[in-house]
Amino acid sequence: MTTKLKPLLPTKYALGLHTTTPELGLVISNFADDTRSHVWNLGRDLSSHIHQYLMDLIKPQTWTDLAFIAVAKGPGGFTGTRIGVVTARTLGQQLEIPIFAISTLAAVAWHEKSKNPKTQPIIAVEMQAQRGQVFGAIYQIAADNSGITALLPDTVFTPEKWQETLANWQTEYQLIKATSGLAATVSSILELAYLDWQQNKRPHWSEAIPYYGQHPVDI
């Protein structure tokens, strides 16, 4: 069984941002009959172009048409992650709408399950971190695809400790290595946020905090 997402109120849309890599991923959807998404490889130009791409993408809708915003909170690159979360927080504050900060690794797991329904419901995700370490997490997809649960939250490991963690894991799982093209999971960022929205969660914009892992910085 697959949970069918109900559309937002008429004329209302949701916006998703993914900036944790040199790519910019954006998506806007009303979860009914209109979804538009795009990925740009901007590199160091991300900060100077993100607002223009945002304005271009939402047309013909306007900022006031947005019901909520979802943003990838990391792990990922320090600067890109910060840009995305700050942008989302600023919009959320100005528009007075909820901001959902979604794990980059959770989005990878959800994206994998979405494109391959036969994927194991328990998914381990690893991604390279700095100084030879790795980010790792283990997620479980609900049987009815109604959500995702972190069995092991996003954590920084040495490669040896991560391998030991996987070796000692007690249940069957599928390992996914997040290496490139992560901005393409921006639709998964938005879908996971919408599942929370369906459960009447309405996080205040100030609750959207980036996860740097190796660089804990408050904003």
Q: pLDDT digits over 94-122, tens only?
A: 999 999 999 999 999 999 988 887 788 99
Report helix angle 78-95 to 46-58, nearest 10: 40
Residues 86 and 189 in one domain: yes
pLDDT digits over 154-205, tens only? 999 999 999 999 999 999 999 999 988 899 999 999 999 999 999 999 999 9
Q: What is the pTM of this model?
A: 0.91
Residues 70 and 20 in one domain: yes
Alpha helices, DSSP H only, in 75-156?
78-95, 104-115
**212 is a domain residue:** no
**67 is a domain residue:** yes
Domains identified in the chain, total number: 2
Residues 93 and 66 in one domain: yes
CATH number, position 40: 3.30.420.40
Residues 28 and 115 in one domain: no
Residues 21 and 60 in one domain: yes
**1 is a domain residue:** no
pLDDT digits over 115-159, tens only? 887 788 999 999 999 889 999 999 999 988 889 999 999 999 999
**217 is a domain residue:** no
Alpha helices, DSSP H only, in the chain?
46-58, 78-95, 104-115, 159-167, 186-198
Q: Which domain, by its residues, includes 165? A: 105-177
